[in-house]
Structure 1
Amino acid sequence: MKRLAFAVLTAMLCWSGVNAQLNASLESSTSYGVHISDVWGYASGANEYALVGLWNGVNILDVTDPANPVDKGTATGPNSTWRDIKTFGDYAYCTNESNDGLLIIDLSGLPNSITASDWSYWEPNIPGVGVVNDCHNIFIDDNGYGYLAGCSGNNSGGILYIDLFTTPGTPTYVDKGPAVYAHDVFVQNNIMFTSEIYAGKMSLYNVADKTNTIFLGDASTPSDFTHNVWVNAAGTMAFATDEVANAPISAWDVSDPGNIVAKDQFKPLATIGTGVIPHNVHVADDYLIISHYSDGVVVVDASAPDNMIEVANYDTYTGAGQGYNGNWGAFPFLPSGNILVSDQDNGLFVVNPTYMRAARLEGKITDATSGAAILNATVVIDDPQANEGKTDFNGDYKTGIATAGTFNVTITAPNYDAKIVSATISNGSATILDETLSATSLPLELLAFDAKLGLQNEVELSWDAAQSDGIFEFELQRSEDGMIFRTMETVFKESMPGITNSFSTTDNLPSSGTYYYRLKMVEPDRSFDYGPIRDVTLNFGGLVELFPNPLKKGDLLTITGDFVRNREYVVRASSILGQAMQYVVPANDLFSVNSQRLFSGMNYVEILENGNLIYSGKVLVRD
């Protein structure tokens, strides 16, 4: 097998370019000269170590003194964008998606630096499976069984079970799970949770008998691209990520695997709707530690899983835009409580979080006259931390922030007068605040409001309003879920009594999906009202063609369709083994991809616009 010479360049940085932090402080950062991926931790006695996945190996840093990490050497290997690391006993096991198989590192010699004699590779030829020279991921349970996910061989990327406890450092193949591609895997008390990313669901299995895997149940995650799942210590709640723009972290009651129940969804409110992508979630003491790409590491209190609240964050990404940039992994299980955060371009960050239970506010909003529940009322705590509660059909809302205290709370709803009240909230508990709102009557009259799909997949919006004297303000708002609206444009108009004014504008940003629009109409005295909600569904209507198909390795694959000029599209290609690559390309009426960047054989090609799937098909690449 190939060995690569590699030199680690570490630099302690005074990190001043972070975008935000809440209840978290930086201990140190270490810069590498190459792309980095996942990170895991290892503790021995009083010493703590970071195991950092690099483009060409695994670097070990002694972070016992978190302000002054010490390089302990690098186990080299093939170039790979993906590396995933876990430990059992005094050994680390690392997967990659290139070749050479499973990297095994003997950590027992630490704190001495590792040398080439401390690592080796396991690349088995398993009867009925074939040669396993690459895998996407690995998990190791408390009993010492390893679970390999997304591997080469003849199990379609389904889980392979290996024994890591009988002879430490020398894996033994045990058996295989269902032949369904799993991107990630988690096991606790012999219940296995697989992230079946292309099926868009998590599946639960009983693996007490590794030779007889028993299916227990499954659930489709909100954005149908299940990237990873982690479970609380009690085994009652599972938390899942979908690696898609604007996707939530979803909470699931899995106490009955045959009846999995959705409990809540979390998105960072400060960046909601801007295209941020969640990557991985871990659970420690009912806190979710989320590597959230361009948002950095985000900590959520999930002790009340039906009202998950952000309580800490540290942003490591300083670049422009969102997408698959920034924080890849976040390891929260060191005895010190420090979080190891791997940023793909900026290196390893050692972050010291202040864990605290959220201060929650919950209650019901009803009509002051009829007592009827009010739908879509908004409840906002007056605090710098972004927060928002929305009422459901029963008028119930749930929200909260990290900080306890007495705050003004603003309650608004379409066609009701806004109301400001005071509430005292405490960490670790929920304050109940039930309120009523009075219907409002404003001199501004909305005569018509319309939203319709244009010829170029744009949304055409128009409205007519009759006004009294004064300067009026119209806020045109858009939502992706019909609940949380953001202002996209503000129009000011000076009017005379009795005059009807007509307005129109175009929304060119949406991609495929359903969008909701409404008007917030503001009077000169700053009182306001909301108009009706209109929805528009955009379907990618242009015929997409890929040619030539089949094509030879090295030829250009041309993709034509009704694309929006200068908009970026994601082209994702997957092999029959579940390996995946993706590229971001700007489009005009067509664009091309060099087939050298595709897999030999059958490729499953998907095209995404703003995180939404608009095309899927197959392309055959011949050597």
Structure 2
Amino acid sequence: MMKKMILFAVSLVPAFLFGQAFEAQLLGHWGNPDLTPTSWLDSRYNEVWGTVQNGHEIAIIGSTAGTHFIDVTDPATPTEVAFVAGASEGPNLVHRDFHSYNGYLYAVADEGQSTLQIIDMHDLPASVEVVYDSDEFFTRSHNVFVDSLNAVLYVCGGNGGNSVRLLSVENPTAPVLLAEYNSNSTFPIPYVHDVYVRNNIAWLNCGNAGFYLVDFSAPAAPVLLGTLTDYPQKGYNHSGWLANDGIHYYMCDETHGMDVKVVDASDPSDLKVVNLFNAESTPNQIVHNVLVRGNYLYASYYYDGVQVFDISDPVNPVRVSYYDTFDGENDSFYQGAWGVYPFLPSGNVLVSDMNNGLFVVNPFASSVSVQFLTEAVTTCAYTEAEVSFVLNAGFVPPLSFEWDGLPAGATVSFSPAEPMPGDTVSVLIGNLAEAGVFAPELTVSDAGNAATTSFELTVESAPAVPGLVMPAHQSADIPLAPEFVWEPTTGASDYQLQVSADSLDFVNGLYVDITTTETSFVPVIPLPQGSILYWRVLAINECGVAISEIHTFTTEFSSGIFEPETLSFGLFPNPARASVVVALRPDVRAEPVSVRLFSATGQALHSWSWPKGQKTLNLEVGDFANGVYWLQLVSATGSRAEKLILAR
């Protein structure tokens, strides 16, 4: 019996499946042609950031005039809802930068007599409020970054001869200077163009001086962890972002024709560039900034717009989508996509173009599909099966998940419960009480799209109980080397035959204890004469063990199989230590003879060949543990087994 299951809707933008890069979907655009262009670049816009306030997604874009707040909740109709004039503005204003913390935006500029502006965004989209606007610490800065885990604002570049400043924003509206460093400090740091910080560890992009990695856990006593000043395709070390694994760092040189670097930082004292990648464009392509969300890297690539790379394999990024915001030709200047912000809950990506303003794109909107990463899974009944799937999203949240073909009573859970782009979704299928082969089918859908995938699920149970055939129950005069036969059982991969003198003890003192794939067995070592014995068979597979009934039989008082005169031999010494010598009767030496060593319970352990005509054979047994063994000789005239004791 199979089951259909519909899971609750989840606000989800799924992950992209590998494939050839495609053009992302443009959702909306905003610009203001009345803004004054810069005299150097003829540009009007610079950095982009984003926030969510009161259920609204807000884009934040800098311009020559100041900071614009654009409501992009409906990306098709971006609407400016607030504006804050910059302390410095006009045709010489090229650079602004932003970072947010606890609902406050920290805004700086790198031209003119500017300030640090702290803007309260809690009332958006209705309004914003400038709660701090001061040049107390600096008048210009190139970039800012907030280490949100420690409430520290890092300020890079700018004026005053300082490379980097650390300001506490524990009180978000009242920054406090913690430390500042430059090339002349006791702890010297060259000019810092940009910075990424995770839990006090600062990844510093130092322009022509390369890259520095510094631990600012103690702001007044920083520790240099490593540097990278000579590396492949070295240019102007401009910016970078750390992957979620905390090991791989993606580093950008703002130099035409230079690729993005993958840096292995597993050993900070030995930073290494382990790969290069680019926008697959013209030879003079140039990257500006990169950010990472989940398993995707988003790059603002000047003339080539926004570029999206799958970094599921962090060393080998795969270009998956793009949107070109600039329709001019690539050259050796600076035009096109300046910044990118991929952290909105909707999964929509914000891009700022220096010349054309704000773009809102869906980087995964080429098609909708879902695919399991495993084609087939096998598990045992009453355990759990784990599979994973990834999604390519043109979906619009919320999504629903419908299962068909699951075993009856099966339960399903996702991890993470609400995946975001770049996540691989793990599925745990439990309560698997029904054995069989199933083809669970998953359909993911939104209001207008659906995609389906399936995999093969095999649920195995423990094997059936084997039936005993012979020796028959309570039979008598059974030969000392009888054939034990049992019925094959469904699902068994192996069988274990056990013969004991005690019906209650199948652990100690067993006469036979062997594992085989067959359904019959003849012991090599004779059973005791005139004895009441008990036997059973265990059917075994990876999912469990099934134990047969216990049958009893009585052995005969003599056996014609192991006659002393048939094949006699001597063992000395016995007990033995490391070796034992076997001697044959003269009339047997002319025959081929094989020698086999068995455990006390009949398990074959080793074999030797006896050269024809040789009087004695020396057997090395030092590798076997102390205990009782059986040594069997077999020739054309018969076989015989003698007990061998190893004692050291």
TM-score, length-normalised on structure 2?
0.49
Specify which of 24, 46, 50 is matched with residue 41 of structure 1: 50
Specify which of 306, 312, 316 is matched with residue 307 of structure 1: 316
Whether 2:217 is the aligned partner of 1:208: answer yes
1:137 matched to which residue of 2?
143
**Structure 2 stretches of 5 or more lacking a match?**
1-19, 36-43, 182-187, 372-421, 423-648
Whether 2:162 is the aligned partner of 1:149: answer no
Equivalent AA in structure 1 for residue 142 of structure 2: H
Aligned to 2:217, the other structure's residue is in SS state coil
1:90 matched to which residue of 2?
103
Equivalent AA in structure 1 for residue 274 of structure 2: K
Q: 5 Å matches for 1:146-225? A: 146-155=153-162, 158-165=163-170, 167-177=171-181, 178-199=188-209, 201-220=210-229, 221=231, 222-225=233-236
Whether 2:134 is the aligned partner of 1:122: answer yes
Aligned to 2:100, the other structure's residue is in SS state strand
Contact 1:100 1:121 in 2 (8 A): no
Q: How many angstroms does 1:261 deviate by?
A: 2.0
Q: How many angstroms does 1:318 deviate by?
A: 0.9
CA deviation string 1:543-594 (max 9, x = no partner): xxxxxxxxxxxxxxxxxxxxxxxxxxxxxxxxxxxxxxxxxxxxxxxxxxxx
- The structure showing larger relative contact order (alpha-carbon pairs under 8 Å, at least 6 residues apart) is 2
Contact 2:109 2:115 in 1 (8 A): yes
Whether 2:267 is the aligned partner of 1:256: answer yes
Aligned to 1:118, the other structure's residue is in SS state strand
Q: How many angstroms does 1:76 deviate by?
A: 0.2
Q: How many angstroms does 1:109 deviate by?
A: 1.6
* Cα gap change, 1:268 to 1:179, in 2 (>3 Å): closer
Q: How many angstroms does 1:321 deviate by?
A: 3.2
Q: How many angstroms does 1:144 deviate by?
A: 1.6
Q: 5 Å matches for 1:272-421? A: 272-273=282-283, 275-322=284-331, 323-354=333-364
Equivalent AA in structure 2 for residue 224 of structure 1: G
Aligned-CA RMSD value: 2.3
**Separation of aligned partners in 1, 2:218 and 2:133:** 27
Specify which of 108, 112, 125 is matched with residue 122 of structure 2: 108
**Separation of aligned partners in 2, 1:194 and 1:233:** 18
**Separation of aligned partners in 1, 2:21 and 2:77:** 21
**Separation of aligned partners in 1, 2:161 and 2:348:** 40
CA deviation string 1:349-408 (max 9, x = no partner): 001111899x9xxxxxxxxxxxxxxxxxxxxxxxxxxxxxxxxxxxxxxxxxx9xxxxxx
Q: How many angstroms does 1:29 deviate by?
A: 0.4
CA deviation string 1:315-363 (max 9, x = no partner): 0001233331000001011111111000011110001111899x9xxxx
**Separation of aligned partners in 2, 1:351 and 1:264:** 28
Contact 2:235 2:258 in 1 (8 A): no
Alignment length, in residue pairs? 327
Q: How many angstroms does 1:223 deviate by?
A: 2.5
1:27 matched to which residue of 2?
27
Q: How many angstroms does 1:134 deviate by?
A: 0.6
1:63 matched to which residue of 2?
72
Q: 5 Å matches for 1:489-508? A: none
**Separation of aligned partners in 2, 1:22 and 1:32:** 29
Q: How many angstroms does 1:119 deviate by?
A: 5.0
Q: How many angstroms does 1:45 deviate by?
A: 4.2
Contact 2:21 2:320 in 1 (8 A): no
CA deviation string 1:286-308 (max 9, x = no partner): 31100000000000112223322
2:238 matched to which residue of 1?
227
Equivalent AA in structure 2 for residue 145 of structure 1: V
**Separation of aligned partners in 2, 1:119 and 1:206:** 31
1:451 matched to which residue of 2?
none
Equivalent AA in structure 1 for residue 168 of structure 2: D
Aligned to 1:258, the other structure's residue is in SS state helix
* Cα gap change, 1:257 to 1:312, in 2 (>3 Å): same
Contact 2:282 2:330 in 1 (8 A): no
Equivalent AA in structure 2 for residue 27 of structure 1: L
Aligned to 1:135, the other structure's residue is in SS state coil
TM-score, length-normalised on structure 1?
0.50
Which structure 1 residue ranges, 4+ long, deviate > 2 Å from structure 2?
A: 117-120, 220-224, 320-323
Contact 2:257 2:285 in 1 (8 A): yes
1:364 matched to which residue of 2?
none
1:420 matched to which residue of 2?
none
Equivalent AA in structure 2 for residue 257 of structure 1: P
Contact 2:153 2:168 in 1 (8 A): yes
CA deviation string 1:402-441 (max 9, x = no partner): 9xxxxxxxxxxxxxxxxxxxxxxxxxxxxxxxxxxxxxxx
Equivalent AA in structure 2 for residue 173 of structure 1: L
1:453 matched to which residue of 2?
none
**Separation of aligned partners in 1, 2:266 and 2:54:** 36
Aligned to 1:252, the other structure's residue is in SS state strand
Specify which of 225, 236, 253 is matched with residue 247 of structure 2: 236
Equivalent AA in structure 1 for residue 285 of structure 2: V
Equivalent AA in structure 2 for residue 153 of structure 1: G
CA deviation string 1:112-132 (max 9, x = no partner): 133xx535412115xxxxxx1
**Separation of aligned partners in 1, 2:246 and 2:191:** 24
**Separation of aligned partners in 2, 1:297 and 1:161:** 31
